[in-house]
Amino acid sequence: MNTRNRGITVIGVDIGATHIRSGRISPTGEADLLKKENLRQTCRTPDDVTRSVIRAIDDLLRENEAGQAAAIGIAAAGPLDLSSGAIVQSPNMSFERIEITCPLRETFGLPVYLLNDCAAGALAEVVFGPLKGTGDLVYITMSSGIGAGVIAGGRLIAGTTGNAAEVGHMCVDSTYALPCGCGGSGHWEAYASGTGIPAFFRRWREMHLPGRIRHEHPSSAPEVFKAIREHMDFSGFAGALAAVNGRGLSNVIAAYEPEHIVFDGPLIREHADLLLGPMLERTDRYLPLPQVSISSLEGYAPLLGAGAYALEKED
Ligand SMILES: [Zn+2]
């Protein structure tokens, strides 16, 4: 980060599938005035999302005693249309199109920079995280969906429309053929995301333990993990999940051969023993295994990355 910018701050916003996080980001990676709003409770229409983001930024600008922010960086769950600055047909949100950059520019008169939330996460890891300066890194988030951000040769890979590395939609299975929110089948996030795990568990039980469904069916991933820990009957599911995750990780390594892979998201942060080790054991042996870690940025990587991106653009 250029030292010329040490005096300026930017506003960062992270629009996820469930929450809008916002805060003031400094060039050294300090985030303060942090706010979090439950998007599913407060937003009924796409315009509600835009209005919530505007309100959050307005509050931050009013509280920003250090003076006017230089720019606004927005990290959002894709798919994105970067040419028009909108979120389009996200499988994890029920809205067709959410306008972002135009309404924010008109409201605040500041530069607005939009990028995929996983790309932002990757940027935060190499700009502000312990892996600062790493040139080849893949950041993978396992939360409501599964996505990745890729730094290759020191550059953020964006893709033609800003949707590179949508690894959650890589095919990892044909046995269970679970439908994905995108309309496809056998995709990684249909099995191993927060919403996918309960559906995968149900299908696995139907196939492997038919007629032995004595327990209530868990409706969330943490409940599935609790069931795995408490009932030996379900240990086979942990293996099936590890196989799918190993396939997904193998695909990522084969595509990018990064030096580091950083996992993020509440699922893997809270259940690393059930997810990370078994996944690594099922990764293809012929691939060079990168250094693998869990993000130390405590869920703030996309927000910090949105700030890092805006600071970089303003440099
Ligand atoms: Zn998909």
One pLDDT digit (tens) per residue for the chain, 315 residues: 443 455 689 999 999 888 899 999 999 988 888 999 988 888 888 999 999 999 999 999 888 765 678 999 999 987 899 999 999 977 667 788 999 999 999 999 999 999 999 999 999 999 999 999 899 999 999 988 999 999 999 999 988 888 889 999 999 999 999 999 889 999 999 999 999 999 999 999 999 988 766 667 889 999 999 999 998 888 899 999 999 999 999 999 999 999 999 999 999 999 999 999 999 999 998 889 999 999 999 999 999 999 999 999 988
Whether residue 78 sits in one domain with residue 29: yes
Q: Is residue 132 part of a domain?
A: no
* CATH of residue 206: 3.30.420.40
Biggest distance spanned by C-alpha atoms of the chain: 67
pLDDT in tens, 263-287: 999 999 999 999 999 999 999 988 8
Distance between Cα 18 and ligand 1 center (Å): 18
247-to-260, 273, 276, 285 alpha-carbon distances in Å? 18, 18, 13, 11
Whether residue 214 sits in one domain with residue 288: yes
Distance between Cα 101 and ligand 1 center (Å): 26
pLDDT in tens, 57-114: 999 988 876 567 899 999 998 789 999 999 997 766 778 899 999 999 999 999 999 9
Nearest to 73 by CA among 60, 90, 89: 60
Give the long-range contacts of residues 168-175, CB within 8 A, separation 24 or more. 168/193, 170/248, 170/251, 170/252, 172/244, 172/247, 172/248, 172/251, 173/244, 173/247
Kindly report the pTM of this predicted structure: 0.91
A 10 A CB-CB count for 293 gives 16
Distance between Cα 168 and ligand 1 center (Å): 6
Q: Is residue 259 part of a domain?
A: yes
Whether residue 97 sits in one domain with residue 20: yes
Whether residue 278 sits in one domain with residue 144: yes
Distance between Cα 184 and ligand 1 center (Å): 5
Distance between Cα 185 and ligand 1 center (Å): 7
Distance between Cα 172 and ligand 1 center (Å): 11
Strands 260-264, 291-294: pairing is: parallel
Whether residue 283 sits in one domain with residue 213: yes
- pLDDT at position 1 is 42
Nearest-angstrom CA–CA distance, 156 and 261:
14
Distance between Cα 192 and ligand 1 center (Å): 12
Whether residue 235 sits in one domain with residue 105: no
Q: Is residue 130 part of a domain?
A: no
C-beta of residue 83 within 8 angstroms of C-beta of residue 161: yes
Nearest-angstrom CA–CA distance, 119 and 152:
12
Q: Is residue 206 part of a domain?
A: yes
Whether residue 147 sits in one domain with residue 287: yes
The position carrying tokens 């991106």 is 309
Distance between Cα 309 and ligand 1 center (Å): 27
Q: Is residue 123 part of a domain?
A: no
Number of domains observed in the structure of the chain: 2
C-beta of residue 14 within 8 angstroms of C-beta of residue 75: yes
Distance between Cα 241 and ligand 1 center (Å): 17
251-to-165, 166, 172, 246, 254 alpha-carbon distances in Å? 11, 12, 9, 9, 5
Distance between Cα 189 and ligand 1 center (Å): 7
Whether residue 290 sits in one domain with residue 145: yes
Whether residue 153 sits in one domain with residue 238: yes
C-beta of residue 251 within 8 angstroms of C-beta of residue 170: yes
Q: Is residue 80 part of a domain?
A: yes
Neighbours of ion ligand 1 (CB under 5 A): 169, 180, 182, 184, 187
Distance between Cα 60 and ligand 1 center (Å): 35
Whether residue 141 sits in one domain with residue 290: yes
The position carrying tokens 């993990």 is 225
Distance between Cα 163 and ligand 1 center (Å): 13
Whether residue 157 sits in one domain with residue 221: yes
Nearest-angstrom CA–CA distance, 202 and 190:
12
Q: Is residue 129 part of a domain?
A: no
Domain boundaries, position 279: 137-294
Strand partners of residue 294:
263
Distance between Cα 16 and ligand 1 center (Å): 17
Give the long-range contacts of residues 207-212, CB within 8 A, separation 24 or more. 207/176, 208/236, 208/237, 209/233
And the tokens for 242? 């590890």
C-beta of residue 280 within 8 angstroms of C-beta of residue 292: yes
Whether residue 227 sits in one domain with residue 150: yes
Q: Is residue 125 part of a domain?
A: no
**Which amino acid is residue 160, in one-letter code?**
T
